Every structure is written in C-alpha cells, then in structure tokens.
Amino acid sequence: MKVTPGALFATLRGKHQDIVVRSTQAGHVVAPHVPPKNPKTAAQVAVRTAFSAATSAYGNLAPDQQAGWDALGASTMVTNNVGATFTLSGQQAHVSVNATLAAAGQPTLANAPAKVAPPVLPPSTLTCTLANGQPSLVVHPAQQYAGLVVIYGTKPLGKGTKSPSKSTYRKIAVTNALMPAGYDVTTAYVNKFGAPPAGSKVGIKLVPVSASGHSGLTVIDLATTTGQ
C-alpha cells in the first residue's frame, strides 16, 4: 500500500511490530511483515549470482561506459508493484539488461546497447496430455514467431488453481523460434518437475527478449492435464 506520510511517519523506516515501512522512488510503502523463506534452490542461486555479477561488474566499468548506462537507464521507464512509474539509474539498467541476457543464455554486455524495442509475442496456448502415463506438453503460438523466448513453467498444480503466483514459475527452456505447429517442452518440463498427474494444472509463461536485453510483455496460459 502506497501512503502519503505526515511529518512523524516520514521518519519511519524498517520493521515495526507486524508491518514494514520502506522508502522507494515512488514514496513510502507499508506492507505486512512476512518472515522470509530462503530454500536456496539452484534456480534462486543462479538468479542471485547473475544479479551479483552484474552489480559487481558495473563498479569496474570506465566512466564513459557508466555514462552510457546512465543514458540507457534515463530512457527506460518501468512500473513498480504499487503502480508508480520511474526511470532507472545506470547501475539498475546494467543489472536489468545483463540479468535478462544471462537468463536467456546470452553473453552479457559491458557497453550499454542501443535499445531495441521488446518484441511482441503472439497469443499462445499450452496443451498438456498423458497417453499411457507418458506426458506431452506443447506450446502452440497463434502464428510463427522468430526471436529469443525464455519459457517458464510451474510444477503440477491443484485442479482449483486459477492464477499461479509469479514465484511458482521456474525457467525450463530457451528457444529462438516458436512455430504454429507447436514447440514441444515435454523433456524440459519433465526434467524440472517430473510428469504431471492427470487432472493437475500446469502453467506456462513465455518471455520475449530483445537483442538489447529488454524483455517484452509475457504470454501466460494455464492448462489442465488430460488423458491417463
């Protein structure tokens, strides 16, 4: 919840009983205190390593390189989780671009790239079937798409699931093309989560990535596993 603080409240920071007060670029944010969970999965460690490497690398850049990232950040508008928009600092732009490229299996950049508009993915659906216990998971785009796409999936979810939370998705594959006939993610999914049981739901999320390391709007679908 974003709030407009009074004089006394404006000095508050950190945890106070069951709430946490944070100061952000968009203003003060008050949220319930939730004890952190840190299972340190391989996926979490990989993401943290990418962010840490990008953050450290920025400090080693020459002044003219940092100036290039400052310019890129100033031209990048983002929206935070309370709906406020703001531009990025040079370091934030460097970390965002290089963490996105690392997630897509691409080389990271020391020099700020010319910004390439994030690509637009066509609407896509997921089919998830079982035949004699053998799963088949296929992504079906409405039209052919040629470009870098990072594919995320969820573990098998309950029948009543309607909207999986962001934290349930894990990267399962990266591709440079999606065909109308379908992109088979069975092996990638099973290697990550195992075969989904009949009746379970599986979420899929497609994230397009531009050559400059900017991600576009995601395409999400949720399928019920049919067959047996």
What is residue 32's predicted lDDT score, i.e. its pLDDT?
74
What is residue 10's predicted lDDT score, i.e. its pLDDT?
55
Question: pTM of this prediction?
Answer: 0.77
What is residue 225's predicted lDDT score, i.e. its pLDDT?
95
Q: What string of pLDDT tens digits covers the 228 residues of the chain?
A: 555 555 555 555 566 556 777 766 556 677 776 666 665 666 666 667 777 777 788 889 999 999 999 999 999 888 877 788 999 999 999 999 998 998 899 999 999 999 898 889 999 999 999 999 999 999 999 999 989 999 999 999 999 999 999 889 999 999 998 998 899 999 999 999 999 999 999 999 999 999 999 999 999 999 999 998
What is residue 22's predicted lDDT score, i.e. its pLDDT?
73
**Cα dihedral 128→45→115→59 (10° resolution):** 180
What is residue 11's predicted lDDT score, i.e. its pLDDT?
54
- Which domains are assigned to the chain? 42-103 (no CATH), 124-227 (2.60.40)
